[in-house]
Amino acid sequence: MAALPDDIAAVSRDAVIVTWYDAAIAARYPSARDGSETPSFGCFDSAADAATVITARGALTGTDRRRFAVSAASIVWPDLATLPSAQLVDAEQSVNAACLQARLELDLEAETSNFELFG
């Protein structure tokens, strides 16, 4: 199948590389990879569109997150119609935050629930 003129124009235009950088994150994790060796690939019509996407990605990945293993002494049935989240309050860990439930394990014999939470 022959290439259409619009397809040829799309692949023959100059590439634009858009980057995202947060000085606070770089200072906190000086030995972390910066992604310049294996950058993420994306195709956008304009650099502004790419900047919007990379800024949203930076907001997701540029935030400190902690992982918690939590056990409940009862069966907690999840509501699958909503986002699986939980409010974790733990004075020992100095946390009072909404967390995303990454894993849920129900032990019906022991009547316990185990959660893996990110927040």
Q: Using alpha carbons, list the distances in angstroms from residue 21 to 26, 35, 88, 105, 119.
A: 8, 10, 31, 38, 22
**Token reading at 119:** 């927040």
- What confidence tens digit (pLDDT) does each residue in 18-64 have? 888 888 888 888 887 776 777 777 888 788 998 898 888 888 777 77
Is residue 13 pLDDT above 80, yes or no?
no
Q: What pTM was computed for the model? A: 0.53
